[in-house]
Structure 1
Amino acid sequence: MKRPIWFVVPFGVGLIVLSTAILGSFKSDRCLKMAAGLQGGDSYFFAEKIKNLVEKYSEGDKKVCITLIKDPTPQGTEENLEKLEKNEAQLATAQADILVMRDFPNIQLGNQKTVRVDSLVLLEQAEVVSLLFPDMYQLVVRDDSSNIKSVSDLENKRIALPPKKGGQIKSFAFLMQHYGLITKEKNLVTMIEVGEKDTDLKKALCDDKTVDAVFFVRAIGNQNIRELLKDRECKARLVSIDQAAAIKIQNPYLEEVEIPEGAYQGGKNPIPNDGPDNVPDYQKQKVKTLSVQRLLLARKDVSPKEIQALTQILYEHQQELVKEFPLAANISPPNKFKGVGLPIHEGAQAYYDREKPSWLEENSGTIQVLQGILGLAIPVISGILLWLKQREQARKNKADDYIREVTALMDASECVHGVAEYLRAYNSNNTKQLKKFSEVIIEKTAKILIEKKSAEIDRSQNLISSDSLKSFSKTLRKVVNAIEKIPEQATEELLHTISERATELWDGYRQKRLQNRWLPFVSNWQTKSFELISVDNQKTQTATLKSNLDATLRNALAPKDTRQTLSEESQFEQFLETEHLEIRRDLDSIFKRAVNALVEERISQESFQSFRVVWQIATGDADRIPM
């Protein structure tokens, strides 16, 4: 039966409209969202210029689209990184120094309120695209505070609390911790909460004089700092960070620098002023400080082609950026951070290596000579090269094992903290907090459980040492024993959910592990090491896997008659302190094993440096590193 034309035409029109809408939404989804902090800030202004430049020069198969995330609330590095990790943004700007800062002291306000400064979570998605420009630690005081000549002189002085959101408060806490002015035991400075608007800071320092000092992490020439320093009634000045060279040792992202004379005002009365012209250079009062790079980051799952195209536009049209934003002259490749902290994105690296000759091109002459002389020995040479490659891969895998052990202990630390917070919520019957910290406990323990099961498989194939297996086993026992401090019924519910979550995570983890092993080992690991889940039936496969993981989890339980739940606040604090010390001892033990492996050439220097950075993040104490 033929359908009437009046039915077909509207249907066809509707289909076209729907297709257009779908294609339009697909096109908009291709735009990379960029988190660049608060509107009006240096990073956001720079990001706007980058967005405009990309729109102007992006074309063809290298088309890139960027949209900026606009948020009216104060935003900074921490919020940018959170958006990047949650895939709410694919690009972000970030203050580099806070990436390796850990174990901040709490900040006590003058009104007895406490501001908690949290460490960043370990970043799993962020990779570096480029260095953008340097920010500077800048401490501004009123000139009538004549007795403040160095950071140490801030003792018993009033300081404006940096914005609670962002990287400045972490940099401030790190600086105060170095000088011993704010520690976990004491606060020797008086922190005043003055608001987070630029006008609030000026009013507190210059007009009301309710604070003696203000701390910034901003680029040289920042307009807000310039206004403070040029205010004739306020008479503000910069103070040197005299121990900058020592502080740099604790953080690989910091550099000791000087703020040049006249940076904020030139002429006969420069700001800052090093001293009279007739004074020798060695007697001049240089303003020493620390610089930290502002980074452009991308999620590692963003297409390398898109990031390569973005990087190409950024560098090939850099001069155009400089005209509108002079700090763009500082854009440079992140090569000096190789082996320290975050990796370089594959797309950005492809652009940086665009003119770099391949190994074959560099050694083509030598290869031709060798081919002529040693034609018959090629199979032998190939065998040696293959052996060397296998040996180098084995050394890298060994370093990766140490990194996995440290990461598992970091997860354990968060889990132990989650248990203490869960117990507090349990006592106060706070259902919202119970749910929040249940999720933390489940997620972290599931990851550790997977690492333990994977370590058993690796050990059966002689891919890891018995020491590594013992380390993962001990870490799993640690978190399970912590969970046992929770009332029994809740403990059983958590353990059941942990097994289910570990089962969900297993396939993704397996693929990642297979990719990280060299091919000859991969096939062996893939065919023999996962026999426990190799059955054809999907339901049986999942049930078998869950049963295996559940058995591994429950083997870590202590006998029921030895378990002890916690109910008092004093018990929670003692529990956290004991577990923290034990985790620190375990981290030190792993570090010693890694050092021995380096000395015995079982891991390479480069791999050790990658491990060292992760270990430093985990311990939050660079001074403990003996190298």
Structure 2
Amino acid sequence: MNPKIWFAALFLAIPALGLGWWFLRMETKLRVVMSTGSESGVYHQLATELGNAFENHRPSVEWTLQSSAGSAENVARLESGVTDVAIVQNDAIANAAVRSLAMLYTESLHLVCRREAKITCLNDLAKHKTNLGSKDGGTFQLVRELLSFSRIELPADNLDHLGFQDAEIGLESGELDAAFFLVGVGAEVIGRLLSDDRFELVPIHIQVGSDVDSVVSEEAFIDGFRTHYPYATYTDIPLMAYEGKPRRPIAAVGIAAVLACRGDWDDELARDLVQTLFAHKAVLGHQIPLLSGLDETSSRSSLQFPLHQGAESYYRRNEPGFLAENAESIGLLITLALLTFSGLHGVKKWIDQNRKNRVDVYYQRVQELQTNANLSAGNVDQASWYRTLNEIESQACEELISERLDADHSYVILQNMIARCRRELKRIHENA
């Protein structure tokens, strides 16, 4: 083949192979879909930042976001398999298809009311137009359980089920007197509302009678609610959390926001995502203050949904293996085994020595018989020598059967000695 043609073909083949590899790599990008919340909410912001970090950690991953109405819709997407990862509330109702990756932060139930409505507790909502939250979000589920526990029935005509943005508009327009928001402390929607003096935060508590003294304390009420709804927690909306408001801490019900995934999602991807989350917690905490308290220990405690196997592998990465964890027990067992073996070996040696001593007795008896026969040839009844030799052989055989003698080389020597002695007795008898 012409060298020039060969070099030209090689020159063209190398770029072609490189281009083909690049296209193949582009085509095999792994798509990960995450369901968030409204595009203006914390869920979406968190998902965006986490996705950027994950794509940098694993360039083969293409991170795709899907906005949603909230936690309930995110759970439905995980159950149906249309999304891989989502942020859900820890009290969400889901089947076995949902698995936890990490607890992110606690969301607080904010009750924002028009100041002119003079709402002071949950009982007062019966007379006012109230938004309970979208039925596809987590706010509605929590508020429904809270009102059921409180034995408070709100007239259906006074209820709305709007998302956060529409609820904000309804409050500002006067169509709503009160609205519930299950969001992290510092949420923009709450900040915008409280910047207007027409609105205020109302503590989560009830009144059991007509006088002022019949108001149940916030902490006692929420602690009671927790016995009915175990995934809820008592939390405070801190003093001046929203540009100088509230003027005092406001009692609220808290629900954890959880990073979750499909139960059949890839173990390696799940582990890498959790690793990325904690590796970038400083950056994420700076961009989203709610994540500043992100911690590996608390992130896997009190979870409703079981941990995904990949996440559990990450959390257990520093735990000692089986051998290291049980080193003392294994060492003790080995020591006991060696002592047992040594003891058994000693017993066996004693038994073997005892059997050796027994066969030595027969050696001595045969040797004495042969010596005596040679010394007293012709003077003693030779028939008695044969009887004695037969008795020795018979006794040795009985001890062999009863396992007091071993059928080993020592016994073969004894048989040879008996045979040699019998030949010697025969020779003496013939020469007499």
Q: TM-score, normalization: structure 2?
A: 0.65
1:522-561 aligned at under 5 Å gives the runs none
Q: What is the aligned partner in structure 1 of residue 63 from structure 2?
A: 66
CA distance in 1, matches of 2:92, 2:274: 24
1:217-256 aligned at under 5 Å gives the runs 217-232=182-197, 234-241=198-205, 242=218, 243-256=221-234
**For the structure 1 residues 376 and 26, does the alpha-carbon distance in structure 2 shift closer, same or farther, using more than 3 Å as the test?**
farther
Structure 2 residue 78 is matched with structure 1 residue 84: yes
**For the structure 1 residues 237 and 335, does the alpha-carbon distance in structure 2 shift closer, same or farther, using more than 3 Å as the test?**
closer
Q: What is the aligned partner in structure 1 of residue 346 from structure 2?
A: none
SS class of match (1:153): helix
Q: What is the aligned partner in structure 2 of residue 180 from structure 1?
A: 151
CA distance in 2, matches of 1:86, 1:25: 28
**For the structure 1 residues 203 and 26, does the alpha-carbon distance in structure 2 shift closer, same or farther, using more than 3 Å as the test?**
closer
> AA paired with 1:373?
L
Q: What is the aligned partner in structure 2 of residue 48 from structure 1?
A: 48
**For the structure 1 residues 195 and 342, does the alpha-carbon distance in structure 2 shift closer, same or farther, using more than 3 Å as the test?**
closer
**For the structure 1 residues 257 and 193, does the alpha-carbon distance in structure 2 shift closer, same or farther, using more than 3 Å as the test?**
closer
Per-residue deviation, 1:83: 1.6
CA distance in 1, matches of 2:143, 2:339: 66
Query: Which of 1 and 2 has higher RCO (CA within 8 Å, sep 6+)?
Result: 2
Q: What is the aligned partner in structure 2 of residue 75 from structure 1?
A: 69
Unaligned runs of 5+ in 2: 1-16, 206-217, 342-432
Superposed CA deviations along residues 276-330 of structure 1, whole A, max 9, x for unmatched, are xxxxxxxxxx421111111111112222111111111111221111121111223
> AA paired with 2:101?
V
Per-residue deviation, 1:23: 4.0
Q: What is the aligned partner in structure 2 of residue 116 from structure 1?
A: none
SS class of match (2:301): helix
> AA paired with 1:248?
R
Per-residue deviation, 1:245: 0.9
1:101-140 aligned at under 5 Å gives the runs 122-140=94-112
Unaligned runs of 5+ in 1: 1-15, 100-121, 275-285, 379-627
Q: What is the aligned partner in structure 1 of residue 181 from structure 2?
A: 216
Q: What is the aligned partner in structure 1 of residue 114 from structure 2?
A: 142
**For the structure 1 residues 239 and 142, does the alpha-carbon distance in structure 2 shift closer, same or farther, using more than 3 Å as the test?**
farther
CA distance in 2, matches of 1:367, 1:217: 52
Q: What is the aligned partner in structure 1 of residue 31 from structure 2?
A: 31
> AA paired with 2:89?
Q
CA distance in 2, matches of 1:189, 1:160: 11
CA distance in 1, matches of 2:72, 2:130: 22
Per-residue deviation, 1:253: 1.8
Structure 2 residue 261 is matched with structure 1 residue 272: no
Do the aligned partners of 1:248 and 1:255 also contact (CA within 8 Å) in 2?
Answer: yes
Per-residue deviation, 1:372: 0.6
CA distance in 2, matches of 1:377, 1:83: 61
> AA paired with 2:131?
A
Per-residue deviation, 1:376: 6.8
**For the structure 1 residues 290 and 356, does the alpha-carbon distance in structure 2 shift closer, same or farther, using more than 3 Å as the test?**
same
CA distance in 2, matches of 1:203, 1:308: 41
> AA paired with 2:271?
Q
1:153-552 aligned at under 5 Å gives the runs 153-182=124-153, 187-188=154-155, 190-193=157-160, 196=163, 198=165, 200-208=166-174, 210-232=175-197, 234-241=198-205, 242=218, 243-266=221-244, 271-274=245-248, 286-333=249-296, 334-337=299-302, 341-375=304-338
CA distance in 2, matches of 1:306, 1:149: 48
Per-residue deviation, 1:154: 1.9
Superposed CA deviations along residues 431-472 of structure 1, whole A, max 9, x for unmatched, are xxxxxxxxxxxxxxxxxxxxxxxxxxxxxxxxxxxxxxxxxx
Superposed CA deviations along residues 472-531 of structure 1, whole A, max 9, x for unmatched, are xxxxxxxxxxxxxxxxxxxxxxxxxxxxxxxxxxxxxxxxxxxxxxxxxxxxxxxxxxxx
**For the structure 1 residues 194 and 250, does the alpha-carbon distance in structure 2 shift closer, same or farther, using more than 3 Å as the test?**
closer
| Selected match of 1:98 from 89, 92, 103 | 92
CA distance in 2, matches of 1:370, 1:87: 49
Superposed CA deviations along residues 55-96 of structure 1, whole A, max 9, x for unmatched, are 22336xxx5442212x4xx52112212221222111111111
Superposed CA deviations along residues 248-296 of structure 1, whole A, max 9, x for unmatched, are 1122321111111111123xxxx1112xxxxxxxxxxx42111111111
Superposed CA deviations along residues 172-204 of structure 1, whole A, max 9, x for unmatched, are 21121111223xxxx447534485462x43443
Do the aligned partners of 1:95 and 1:294 also contact (CA within 8 Å) in 2?
Answer: yes
Do the aligned partners of 2:75 and 2:88 also contact (CA within 8 Å) in 1?
Answer: yes
**For the structure 1 residues 129 and 178, does the alpha-carbon distance in structure 2 shift closer, same or farther, using more than 3 Å as the test?**
same
CA distance in 1, matches of 2:69, 2:89: 12
**For the structure 1 residues 162 and 332, does the alpha-carbon distance in structure 2 shift closer, same or farther, using more than 3 Å as the test?**
same
CA distance in 2, matches of 1:153, 1:297: 37
SS class of match (2:99): strand
Superposed CA deviations along residues 185-229 of structure 1, whole A, max 9, x for unmatched, are xx447534485462x434432443x32211110010111111111
**For the structure 1 residues 250 and 26, does the alpha-carbon distance in structure 2 shift closer, same or farther, using more than 3 Å as the test?**
farther
CA distance in 1, matches of 2:155, 2:117: 17
CA distance in 2, matches of 1:26, 1:124: 32
CA distance in 2, matches of 1:321, 1:195: 30
> AA paired with 2:83?
A
Per-residue deviation, 1:160: 2.2
Larger Rg: 2
CA distance in 1, matches of 2:328, 2:158: 67
Per-residue deviation, 1:139: 0.7
Bigger share in strand? 2
**For the structure 1 residues 256 and 353, does the alpha-carbon distance in structure 2 shift closer, same or farther, using more than 3 Å as the test?**
same
**For the structure 1 residues 195 and 240, does the alpha-carbon distance in structure 2 shift closer, same or farther, using more than 3 Å as the test?**
closer
Q: TM-score, normalization: structure 1?
A: 0.46
Tell me whether 35-44 or 344-353 shows the greater mean CA deviation: 35-44
**For the structure 1 residues 164 and 129, does the alpha-carbon distance in structure 2 shift closer, same or farther, using more than 3 Å as the test?**
same
SS class of match (1:322): helix
Do the aligned partners of 2:132 and 2:159 also contact (CA within 8 Å) in 1?
Answer: yes
CA distance in 2, matches of 1:211, 1:179: 22
CA distance in 1, matches of 2:193, 2:247: 15
SS class of match (1:231): coil
Per-residue deviation, 1:157: 2.3
**For the structure 1 residues 197 and 305, does the alpha-carbon distance in structure 2 shift closer, same or farther, using more than 3 Å as the test?**
closer
